[in-house]
Amino acid sequence: MSEDTTQAVDETATDGATQQEERRDVVHVPIIGIEIERALLPGILLCLGAVLVLGLSFLKELPRFWFEEEGYYSHGLLVPFMSIAVLYMRREALAKAEKGSSVVGFMLLLLGALLFLSGRLIDNLSIQAGAFILVLVGATYYVFGSKVGRLSLGPILFLIFMMPALGWIIDATTNPLQIVSTKIATKMLNIVGYQTYVSPINPTFVDMNLYSFQVGGPCSGFKLSLALTAFTIFFIMISNLGWAKNLFLFALSIPLALLLNGLRIMFIGVVGELGAASPDAAVVRWIRSLDASQTDAGMIFHDYSGYVTLFICFIVLHYIVKALERGVPHEP
């Protein structure tokens, strides 16, 4: 074997050993399918620890909002799983993206931490929610770099939908939406043959022949609008519709939420009227069996109808997106 051939074999073996050594210094992240250098692990663990320390006391409060009977965040439990689903669908792009570090990310991380501590001092959950999101964005940019940060930005910002960060918007829009939802529901009740009366003095109280009910704040439509907006953004992130169809889908979400919310309120009135007119009907007895603590079939249906409506919203949006995707070329 010649000297040149021997040298080439040695260089090939060296290159192979170097590649194996590089592979040994890489850690695979199973959930999102990316690889990171082992040297970055201390920084990642430090950022993760900071996020957990800052967020633990805040995050443990979230289930209280998700499962609150008259709350606005019944969809909140689904949001982190939806974010993970988006990251998983982007796993190939995340794996190919150049990894590095970002000074801007460190500045965002530090700013988010200070803002979070300020929110803790004044006991403001809205500030804590926004600051926690900022910490996550900053940590991602700082550890993985700007390219991974841009791919992860949408799913991270999406987490705001599981947090009580919109209190001032809720306060400003609840009453007008209550009135709109009441009008939609009474019009639907009239269409299917029920008589209704709404007093100008109390425009959210509906009188029927045998049953009366109040359209409260959680039934205003904001709760469903918030959930439907979250679902819409989720479908926008996982689909390939283009900006025009995305804009159309987003614009459709609010009237669709009000329509479905009006339909829900209409069914509450129908069930309540049926319960008063035919208390021994099989369907009324079944509804009352769901909650032995009360006899008002309309209110029992009200307590369960929110989750049913969320499911219907998700299915309706799914089929709307499927229809919009027709003729749209999919990325290879």
Give the model confidence (pLDDT) of 201-221 as tens digits: 888 889 998 898 888 766 666
* Residue 264 contacts residue 223 (beta carbons within 8 Å): no
Position 332 scores a pLDDT of 43
Position 18 scores a pLDDT of 47
Would the CA dihedral through 301, 304, 308, 310 be positive or negative?
positive
The DSSP result for 162-206, as a single string, is: GSS--HHHHHHHHHHHHHHHHHHHHHHHHHTT---EE-SSSTTEE
Position 153 scores a pLDDT of 92
* Residue 135 contacts residue 50 (beta carbons within 8 Å): yes
* 203 burial type by CB count under 10 A (0-12 exposed, 13-18 middle, 19+ buried): middle
Position 246 scores a pLDDT of 85
The residue type found at 170 is I
3-class state of residue 37 by DSSP: strand
Position 158 scores a pLDDT of 92
What are the tokens at 313? 């919203």
Cα 311–313–316 angle (5° rounding)? 110
Which stretches in the chain have pLDDT values below 50? 6, 8-9, 12-14, 16-23, 31-32, 332
Euclidean distance between CA atoms 87 and 149, whole angstroms? 11
Position 154 scores a pLDDT of 92
* Residue 135 contacts residue 47 (beta carbons within 8 Å): no
Euclidean distance between CA atoms 35 and 18, whole angstroms? 17
Position 190 scores a pLDDT of 92
Position 110 scores a pLDDT of 83
Q: What is the pTM of this model?
A: 0.72
Position 310 scores a pLDDT of 79
